[in-house]
Amino acid sequence: MAKILVISGHPHLDQSLANQTILTELKNSGLDITIEDLSEIGWDFDIEAERKAVVDADALVFEFPLYWYSYPALLKKWVEEVLAHGFAYGTGGTALQGKDFFISSTTGGPEESYSHEGPQNHPISEFFFNFDQLATFTGMKKHEPIITYGCMYVPGLSTEEDKQKIVDNCKASAQKLIEELKKI
């Protein structure tokens, strides 16, 4: 069974119905999954411990909400410091070569808003170019991103029906990711 490292990049996971739901489904999947919750670890993570976890894994999953058309700053800091020159790329940087790479991301807006005609002005795939390049540059095998749209839940404003729809959609996305992870 493949060893899977999930990097949870939500900086306020305790406030996220969507990302908590996806991570709970992954935890309960029966797969060999380690979840690094950056909201618990914080900004001063142990780079060597994180690198050891990356080396020990067969697959890397970034799980995060889309923030301003990219990933949250906490996850970006993790990428910049852990996946540095000499480790993930460059001279001697082979730690990621051949590993499977997955993106699991949530958005507040609905799927139809991510198009050239929609309010976001671009399809969602255009916002993930940096991950395509990260995978290519480090020699990872990139898989299609799994996106869960319409995850905006505001306690006190959203209805129970809205909440249940988000939970159901997140569970479906998590199951899709689990099925992909079982193939590696």
Domain spans, the chain: 3-182
Best CA proximity match to 141, nearest among 34, 58, 22: 58
Given this model, what pLDDT does residue 1 score? 87
Best CA proximity match to 54, nearest among 102, 1, 104, 4: 4
Given this model, what pLDDT does residue 30 score? 97
In CATH terms, the superfamily for domain 3-182 is Flavodoxin domain (3.40.50.360)
Q: What is the pLDDT along the chain (184 residues), one digit of tens a residue?
A: 899 999 999 999 999 999 999 999 999 999 999 999 999 999 999 999 999 999 999 999 999 999 999 999 999 999 999 999 999 999 999 999 999 999 999 999 999 999 999 999 999 999 999 999 999 999 999 999 999 999 998 888 899 999 999 999 999 999 999 999 999 9
Given this model, what pLDDT does residue 65 score? 98
User: Quick check: 157 and 21 in contact, CB under 8 A?
Assistant: no
CA distances from 97 to 80, 134, 171 (A): 17, 11, 30
Given this model, what pLDDT does residue 15 score? 94
Given this model, what pLDDT does residue 122 score? 93
Given this model, what pLDDT does residue 155 score? 87
Q: What is the DSSP secondary structure assignment for residue 70, as one 8-state letter?
A: B
Given this model, what pLDDT does residue 38 score? 98
Given this model, what pLDDT does residue 147 score? 98
